[in-house]
């Protein structure tokens, strides 16, 4: 490329800048509503793009395009971030067809207490916690940030590792991003990552950014061999008859405390498979009595009381946060 040619110099950045997305996605990214809600609004004829009604959610739109819902401009909302200590019995969804209490019901109640008279922002939970599960649940209207937290595929981790460390294949292997690493290597790596007070400062930034830590109470007492088996991984029967088995593993599984008839485990995951901990423990013959998430990426539950929310103030989205 001729860098002395100003038109050539600007051509590529300009093309990237003008990249279009479906109009429903753009509405969601502006924090107006969820993507599924935006899709319904478009199909029902409530949305205009550059002055014309559109009915296809995938109609190309750019970030700066004029978009209106029922004649009112959809402008980018201020991004907000919250954490909740989710109690047992709440469904992680915006609404429930069975009439069960949702985390959004609880969020609106708590928000009204924190900010009396202030309208509740459109906000959604980041990821999920089962109805019977408890603990740390994040909320935001920043869809790009939420998507980044939920990306746990190995190719994305490798890409980030190579980009941030500028190191080669050996470093990627050391970071534990390849399935070929031995359990011994994984065991020696994890304590430096999981037990660190500030995971964002860990020597293993990729793993630290994508781990979730749970305290799990089970009936009976797990053996060291069984916990080691969870770290090595094994195939778990499918939830739906006719589907194939799934390979599941824990990044780290240790005994936290024990009583006469039950014990507490601390289990770290780097994946997001459905009911992963419950299914692994059920396969080993254990009943889960309680399951509490205490950490998600760089976010820790701390002393937040059950059922309460706390606003999160970010420094940089790619770095450690303060709460």
Active site residues: 130
Which tokens sit at 21?
A: 């997305």
The number of angstroms, rounded, from the C-alpha of 61 to the middle of its chain's C-alpha atoms is 26
- C-alpha distances in angstroms, 49 versus 62, 213, 222? 10, 43, 58
Q: Which residues contact 163 (CB under 8 A, 6 or more apart)?
A: none
Residue whose pair of structure tokens reads 């946060």 in the numeric block: 321
**Nearest alpha carbon to residue 200 among 269, 311, 296:** 296
Of 307, 228, 220, give the one whose Cα is nearest residue 267: 228
Q: Backbone dihedral region of 99: left (phi > 0), alpha (psi from -120 to 50 degrees) or beta?
A: left
Q: How far apart are CA 27 and CA 31, in angstroms?
A: 7
Say which residue the tokens 């094994």 belong to.
234
Strand 134-140 and strand 288-296: the pairing is parallel
Instruction: Write phi, then psi, for 232 (nearest 5 degrees).
Output: -70, -35
Query: Residue 27 pairs with which residues in a beta bridge?
Result: none
């Amino acid at each position: 490329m001729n860098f002395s040619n100003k038109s050539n110099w600007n051509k590529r950045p300009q093309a990237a800048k003008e990249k279009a997305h479906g109009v429903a996605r753009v509405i969601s990214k502006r924090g107006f509503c969820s993507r599924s809600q935006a899709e319904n609004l478009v199909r029902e004829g409530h949305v205009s793009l550059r002055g014309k009604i559109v009915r296809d959610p995938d109609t190309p739109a750019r970030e700066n395009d004029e978009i209106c819902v029922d004649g009112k401009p959809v402008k980018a909302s201020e991004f907000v971030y919250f954490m909740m200590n989710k109690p047992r019995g709440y469904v992680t969804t915006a609404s429930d067809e069975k009439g069960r209490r949702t985390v959004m019901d609880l969020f609106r109640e708590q928000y009204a207490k924190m900010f009396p008279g202030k309208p509740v922002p459109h906000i959604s939970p980041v990821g999920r916690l089962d109805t019977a599960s408890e603990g740390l649940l994040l909320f935001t209207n920043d869809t790009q940030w939420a998507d980044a937290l939920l990306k746990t595929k190995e190719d994305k981790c490798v890409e980030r590792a190579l980009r941030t460390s500028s190191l080669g294949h050996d470093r990627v292997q050391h970071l534990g991003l390849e399935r070929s690493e031995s359990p011994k290597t994984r065991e020696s790596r994890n304590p430096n990552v999981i037990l660190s007070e500030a995971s964002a400062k860990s020597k293993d930034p990729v793993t630290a950014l994508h781990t979730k830590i749970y305290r799990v109470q089970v009936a009976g007492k797990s053996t060291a061999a069984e916990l080691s088996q969870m770290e090595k991984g094994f195939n778990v029967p499918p939830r739906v008859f006719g589907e194939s088995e799934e390979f599941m593993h824990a990044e780290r599984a240790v005994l936290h405390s024990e009583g006469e008839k039950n014990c507490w485990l601390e289990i770290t995951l780097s994946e997001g498979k459905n009911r992963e901990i419950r299914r692994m423990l059920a396969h080993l013959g254990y009943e889960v009595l309680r399951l509490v998430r205490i950490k998600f990426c760089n976010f820790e539950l701390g002393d937040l009381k059950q059922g309460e929310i706390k606003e999160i103030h970010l420094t940089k989205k790619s770095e450690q946060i303060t709460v």
